Amino acid sequence: MEFQDVVRRRRMVREFTDEPVPDESVRRIMRNALRGPSAGYSQGQAFLVLRGEETAGFYESVGQLWAADTVKTAPVVVLAFAVKDAYLDRYAEDHWPVPFWYVDTGMAVLLILQTVVDEGLGAVYFGIGEDDFDEVRARFGVPANHVPIGAIAIGHGAEETVSAGASPRTRKRRPFEDAVHFGRW
């Protein structure tokens, strides 16, 4: 698939079929996630890939699901973690005014979402409530210094168009000229 097609087709899919996701697709998606930018090559991202009963355990661990219940049918859930400690030594060498552990992890998540499209699959990113961090860590043995920034449900989309009630149906995309400025504001 051409890159411009990937960008245009990328959307949040909120309902999935029960068709499994091939292991090679999952591995390609995750390999691409590791190719994202990393400030000072700190590489402060980590991911937990869940399938089958593991996904049910994840949903049991979160008190508030920041997504529609239909995402629970996705056969794969990837939890994305930011690891601040990986950056602290690099920050001591070069003062950076931005918490790149979140920026870099967000870029890795975008690579996951784009690779999902390239694989002919669908995905939705959703947040994890801070009150659920410890439960998620405890259930899956995640180190305490790994901050869950969100989850990506991945599968074969059951919808051909944007979901009913999804933000793109209720809000318009900002005009290019309102968001992009050349030379000066």
pLDDT tens profile 78-113: 999 999 988 887 777 777 788 899 999 999 999 999
State pTM to two decimals.
0.87
**pLDDT tens digits, residue range 36-82?**
998 888 889 999 999 999 999 999 999 888 788 889 999 999 999 99
For the chain, give the DSSP string: --HHHHHHH--B---B-SPPPPHHHHHHHHHHHTTS--GGG---EEEEEEETHHHHHHHHH-SSBSS-GGGGG-SEEEEEEE-THHHHHHHHHS--SS-HHHHHHHHHHHHHHHHHHHTT-EEEEE-B-GGGHHHHHHHHT--TT-EEEEEEEEE-BS-SSPPTT-HHHHSPPPPHHHH--SS--
